[in-house]
Amino acid sequence: MEDYRSEMNAHNFTKWITEKLIPNLHEPSIIVFDNAPYHSVITNKASTSSSRIEEIKNWLIENNVEFDPRLRKPNLLTLVKQHKPQPIYEIDELLGENGHTVVRLPPYHCDLNPIELIWDIAKKSFCTQCWDP
């Protein structure tokens, strides 16, 4: 079996969702995602400490946050942190526009993924068949 992970990125994943998954899903469907980077492209990114001061100021203006333009970067970032919205994920929006719901697993809990649970059952069944004559 070929490993797809080296070729997977946000662009390819979005293309697969758009061209393959959505046309074949029945509404309404619930899709479960883990936190792989290509599942988690955020459309409303907030400024971070690596952002330039002008970028931070632009983010504050775009998000209607009043601030003193003389503030220094740490103070501006405090305002960003106080007004940072919940993340909006590109894939969630795309699937939502097509009548589907996305459920996101908490970080580091891939064991809650339905496919992992089914895979575990399949492996146990296979092992039982192999060892029981």
CA torsion sign, 68 to 73 to 75 to 77? positive
Per-residue confidence (pLDDT) for residue 16, from 0 to 100 = 94
> How far apart are alpha carbons 63 and 45 in whole angstroms?
11
Each residue's pLDDT, cut to its tens digit, for the chain (133 residues) gives: 455 556 789 999 999 999 999 999 987 999 998 888 888 999 999 999 999 999 999 999 999 999 999 999 999 999 999 999 999 999 999 999 999 999 998 887 777 777 777 878 888 877 776 765 5
Tell which residue, 90, 122, 105, has the closest CA to residue 31: 105
8-state DSSP, 103: E
H-assigned helices in the chain: 10-16, 22-24, 53-62, 73-83, 90-97, 114-131
Say whether pTM exceeds 0.85.
no
> How far apart are alpha carbons 84 and 44 in whole angstroms?
9
Per-residue confidence (pLDDT) for residue 70, from 0 to 100 = 96
Per-residue confidence (pLDDT) for residue 1, from 0 to 100 = 44
Tell which residue, 73, 83, 3, 87, has the closest CA to residue 39: 87
